[in-house]
Structure 1
Amino acid sequence: MREQGAGTGRAVEEVFREEHGLLLATLVRRFGDLDLAEEVTAEAIEAALVRWPVDGVPSRPGAWLLTTARRKAVDRLRRDRAYAARLALLQVAADRAAPAPPPDTVRELPDERLQLFFTCAHPALPAPARAALMLRCLAGLTTAETARAHLVPEATMAQRIVRAKKKIREARIPFRVPGADELPERLPGVLEVLYSVFTEGYAASSGPDLTRPDLAGEAIRLTRILHRLLPREREVTGLLALMLLVHARRAARTGPAGEPVLLADQDRGRWDHAMIAEGLALVPAALTGGPPGPYGVQAAIAALHDEAADVATTDWPQIVALYDVLSALAPSPVVAVNRAAAVAMRDGPEAGLALLDGLAGEQRLRGYQPYHAARADLLLRLERPDEAAAACRRALGLAGTQPERARLRRMLDAAAPPGSPYGPSGGGDRPAAGDGLSGAARPSRT
């Protein structure tokens, strides 16, 4: 037993974060039904909350949860013969549709989570539904976190998840490893999900902490496995490089109390330079041998930040040029926000603000906190405090984490004019331009 008493609840949460994806993937592979796997996973967690305070947390909590969930699934199937018969039919259909590949045609993926990632990236599912299902069910993100990551309302995301599960049932999509000829079609969806998981870990959409290192580390681990399996896939290489180059700054991104430390103020001596070297070594392979992909381009942007001695000596013209390439490859309002921030560093705040104001009509940006925070920053730099305060209040209302809200309150103090009811004037934080983490969820400022 590892832990007892008051810390049990925290231990259960830590185990859940660590084991949830693997537990769910194992159960889906065993029983072939995602809803059943989710339900018995939740029941196993509930059982742990009852038993562990009495017995203590077991030395192998993941194994305890898996054993408990399997028993509950078997009990449920025994009670529900119709359900069991339906699962049997699904398994027969899967076996017929998925003959074993010839020897050496495709190497089996060594992690059941990646197997399920590829399964849920089936082309029969619409792209938004694939991403929603994988993030919510396999990466362990809540529906709210998944919705924030894709800039849609929570209700919309919940509907996507329900529809994706229904499609899997009705189309009898088999839970299996794809063959070699299917990998190119499914790979982009898997990379999108891995990137979204990493982005949520790098800059949490909600909660008491700015980051979720467990999610970021898990995304890197899975991407490393994928890179070992597919070393010639340049976008896999690019994604791994991007993650490493950005994650290398994690120790310097927060202060002693968990507050955000912006890129311009970070102690670059605290960056993980071994990780940076590993990421830099991958960038050439991601950018050569054909037209560049979005992940390779973002990795190149991150590399320019990591190679610079400070913000002042960063190669902003090259970063803007790379954002131009990224805008052509993967145009989106989020990429446009990042490009505007980089233009502001190259040409001055007025040029950047003009680009941001040109995006004001974009529906997806209305609820996108970094857009309003970036406007507030540039308005502060242009000494337009009233407008800066309005933009900052908008960003504050959209901020999901406590550290980000505290940072924005300090910005609001800096923007509020003397005598303002919004607080005294003070030294505000200023976000830096996006550092390469641009396409899936939000631009990075730290």
Structure 2
Amino acid sequence: MTDWHAVRRLVPDVLGTLVRRYGHFDACEDAVQEALVAAAAQWPVEGLPESPRSWLVTVASRRLADQVRSDAARRRREEADALRTPPAGAEVNSEPTGDDTLTLLFLCCHPALTPPSQIALTLRAVGGLSTAEIARAFLVPEATMAQRISRAKHRIKAAGAGFALPPPAEQARRLGVVLQVVYLVFNEGYTATSGAQLVRAELTAEAIRLARELHRLVPGDGEVAGLLGLLLLTDARRRARTAPDGSLVPLSEQDRTLWNTEAIAEGVALVTDTLSRGPIGPYQLQAAIAAVHDEAPTADVTDWPQILALYTVLEHVAPNPTVTLNRAVAVAEVHGPAAGLALLDALSADERISASHHLVSVRAHLLEMAADHDAARAGYQEAARRTTSEPERRHLQTRAARLG
């Protein structure tokens, strides 16, 4: 049986090999995808080749050469010298360089691309997901996702981006975008914005894999370590987050015996190490908050004063309405629901979050804490109407029903 997760981990290396040899990221990426399709058709019948990587490199190279031969004469003249079919059984640059994942991540997060295009291209070029898989993950038609990926590749080509890490100054500037893309991929997998499933495990697993690669290749960066720690500490709760009917189980009600203790231990170690080195960034602070939650044996003994202190620092370092929303919950736990509700009143004027079901559901939760059950029930019902996630809708409706 073929381990397709292992095959996907070969994609950055195979794609890197082709781009270094032939150039033309867009054409090489298409060729790698065609080689993966061919592998899916042939390997279950013919068996796994002795070297899956070499097989993919060879087949993708031949697909690339076939594409060149079928192109217009102008393109054929430009590329014929660079694109030749390798001899049968030959390996092309058989030794992996070890840095292709990072190079591809930076390339897919080129500033010429929009954030949705950066995420889609990262999942395909680095994660090895098919266009159909990415389209399903984001609940759009495959043709729409294909167009988005195609436009992204053309923009990279038009920008003249080569297959190499950007210069140090540009690399430092773009690293923040790279981390954000990995973070957004994880968030979409951990709590899907719409659809019938709460979790899309293929996206969370891919985000953690990419964060590991970043940490391996940039081990001294505190925010990279912080992001990996945050993803591990958050994903550790995944098995406890859904009820038998698929609806969301809030953190305070989760069966903590289902949490992944190995992931928690690894995440805590990363947080402890990176916080001791400084400077402190938003991913490190979020990871520290997640660690406080995960280290509490029960919800009742959660160290809310420490969480509030961390959110206060986070709001100073990276102010945004979502951080303020989360801080309001911590304020309510420490100083009472009235104090938390006062913070939410100020958020209501922020158009970045005022229409979100999250603001309404948090307000309902704090109103429930304040024993204003009628207002809380109405809030949960309104939040249920606003969300596009079926599991979240069921959870919110259940909370409303509990209040009579």
C-alpha contact (below 8 Å) 2:271/2:287 kept by paired residues: yes
Alignment gaps of 5+ in structure 2: 84-95
**Alpha-carbon shift at residue 182 of structure 1 (Å):** 5.2
C-alpha contact (below 8 Å) 2:233/2:291 kept by paired residues: yes
Q: Does 1:251 align with 2:251?
A: no
Which shifted more, 79-88 or 337-346?
79-88
Which shifted more, 233-242 or 360-369?
360-369
C-alpha contact (below 8 Å) 2:282/2:318 kept by paired residues: yes
Alignment gaps of 5+ in structure 1: 3-13, 92-107, 149-155, 416-424, 426-446
CA distance 1:221–1:137, change in 2 (3 Å): closer
Distance 1:380 1:339 in 2: 17
1:80 equivalent in structure 2:
71
2:160 equivalent in structure 1:
172
2:302 equivalent in structure 1:
314
Distance 1:397 1:344 in 2: 25
CA distance 1:231–1:160, change in 2 (3 Å): same
Q: Does 1:232 align with 2:223?
A: no
**Alpha-carbon shift at residue 323 of structure 1 (Å):** 0.8
Superposition map of 1:8-157 within 5 A: 15=4, 23=11, 26-27=14-15, 30=18, 32-33=23-24, 35-36=26-27, 59-60=47-48, 71-81=62-72, 82-84=74-76, 110=98, 112-122=100-110, 124-125=111-112, 128=115, 131-132=118-119, 134-135=121-122, 137-138=124-125, 139=127, 140=129, 142=134
C-alpha contact (below 8 Å) 1:392/1:412 kept by paired residues: yes
Greater relative contact order (Cα 8 A, min sep 6): structure 1 or 2? 1
C-alpha contact (below 8 Å) 1:129/1:164 kept by paired residues: no
C-alpha contact (below 8 Å) 2:109/2:122 kept by paired residues: no
1:327 equivalent in structure 2:
315
Superposition map of 1:271-290 within 5 A: 271-290=259-278
Q: Secondary structure at the match of 2:301?
A: coil
C-alpha contact (below 8 Å) 2:17/2:57 kept by paired residues: no
1:342 equivalent in structure 2:
330
Give the letter for the 2:247 counterpart.
E
**Alpha-carbon shift at residue 392 of structure 1 (Å):** 2.9
C-alpha contact (below 8 Å) 1:24/1:38 kept by paired residues: no
Distance 1:286 1:127 in 2: 30
**Alpha-carbon shift at residue 243 of structure 1 (Å):** 1.7
**Alpha-carbon shift at residue 311 of structure 1 (Å):** 2.0
Give the letter for the 2:112 counterpart.
L
Distance 1:224 1:194 in 2: 11
C-alpha contact (below 8 Å) 2:249/2:395 kept by paired residues: no
2:203 equivalent in structure 1:
215
Distance 1:144 1:214 in 2: 11
Q: Does 1:352 align with 2:343?
A: no
Distance 1:135 1:382 in 2: 45
Q: Secondary structure at the match of 2:352?
A: helix
**Alpha-carbon shift at residue 176 of structure 1 (Å):** 2.5
**Alpha-carbon shift at residue 190 of structure 1 (Å):** 1.8
Which shifted more, 68-77 or 202-211?
68-77
What is the aligned residue count? 377
C-alpha contact (below 8 Å) 1:283/1:300 kept by paired residues: yes
1:199 equivalent in structure 2:
187
What is the CA deviation profile of residues 6-27 of structure 1, one whole-angstrom value per residue up to 9, with x for unaligned ones? xxxxxxxx95x87568547744
Aligned-residue identity in percent = 42
**Alpha-carbon shift at residue 28 of structure 1 (Å):** 7.0
TM-score (norm 2): 0.76
Q: Of 254, 264, 288, which residue of structure 1 is paired with 2:252?
A: 264
C-alpha contact (below 8 Å) 2:108/2:122 kept by paired residues: no
CA distance 1:161–1:270, change in 2 (3 Å): same
Q: Does 1:408 align with 2:390?
A: no
**Alpha-carbon shift at residue 238 of structure 1 (Å):** 1.2
**Alpha-carbon shift at residue 404 of structure 1 (Å):** 2.2
Give the letter for the 1:75 counterpart.
D
